């Protein structure tokens, strides 16, 4: 059984050291949950990320909740979720009243100009990590390519339609 305070601490670290939301957190989650602690396999992790993506709510919070639940039941879900949101909540409470003035500071624009490419790099790393775990054979690679192409060609298409199309293709192409 996983120690609950350890689970909270891991997700606190993930929430504290990751800027840019859920997709940017995936590489750190993978390193902590799979590589450092061996709590889940890559396949289990990708399944949880997939479910977290299609469940209403922020990806990081959903993933933390599902991972915590998988590892330690309801208490694990609660503490992993609290861990991942604690840093953001603390920053919002401490800095919220100064944010209006700070965003007008030219240093804030320079800060954001450096932050954006770093976030793109982390999100790209998340894509590579997820692709390695999810695209396990020719059929999954073709489904991924088809959904990716549809997203590029039909940018206004609701992402839920793309997810549903992938699920239907999986049902049709993997009969048993």
Kindly report, residue by residue over 40-60, the tens digit of the pLDDT.
998 899 899 989 988 888 889
Residue 140 has a pLDDT of 93
Entry pTM? 0.68
User: CB–CB of 47/86 below 8 Å?
Assistant: no
Q: Is residue 10 domain-resident? A: yes
CA-derived radius of gyration, the chain: 18
Per the structure, the count of domains in the chain is 1
Q: Is residue 19 domain-resident? A: yes
φ and ψ at 40, to 5 degrees? -135, 160
pLDDT in tens, 67-108: 999 999 999 999 999 999 999 888 878 777 677 677 778 888
**Distance separating the N- and C-terminal Cα atoms of the chain:** 34
What are the structure tokens assigned to 112, written together?
A: 């954001």
Of 109 and 156, more confident:
156
Q: Is residue 22 domain-resident? A: yes
Residue 41 has a pLDDT of 92
Q: Is residue 81 domain-resident? A: yes
| Structural domain span for residue 97 | 4-108
Q: Is residue 170 domain-resident? A: no
């Amino acid at each position: 059984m996983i120690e609950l305070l350890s689970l909270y601490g891991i997700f606190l670290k993930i929430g504290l050291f990751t800027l840019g939301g859920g997709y940017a957190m995936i590489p750190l989650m993978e390193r902590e949950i799979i590589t450092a602690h061996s709590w889940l396999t890559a396949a289990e992790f990708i399944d949880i990320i997939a479910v977290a993506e299609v469940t209403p709510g922020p990806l990081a919070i959903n993933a933390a909740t599902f991972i915590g639940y998988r590892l330690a039941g309801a208490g694990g879900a609660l503490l992993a979720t609290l861990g991942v949101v604690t840093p953001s909540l603390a920053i919002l409470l401490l800095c919220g009243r100064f944010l209006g003035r700070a965003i007008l500071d030219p240093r804030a624009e320079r800060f954001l100009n450096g932050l954006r490419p770093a976030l793109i790099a982390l999100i790209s790393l998340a894509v590579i990590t997820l692709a390695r775990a999810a695209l396990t054979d020719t059929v999954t690679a073709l489904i991924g390519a088809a959904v990716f192409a549809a997203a590029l060609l039909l940018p206004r298409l609701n992402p839920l339609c793309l997810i549903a199309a992938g699920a239907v293709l999986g049902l049709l192409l993997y009969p048993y």
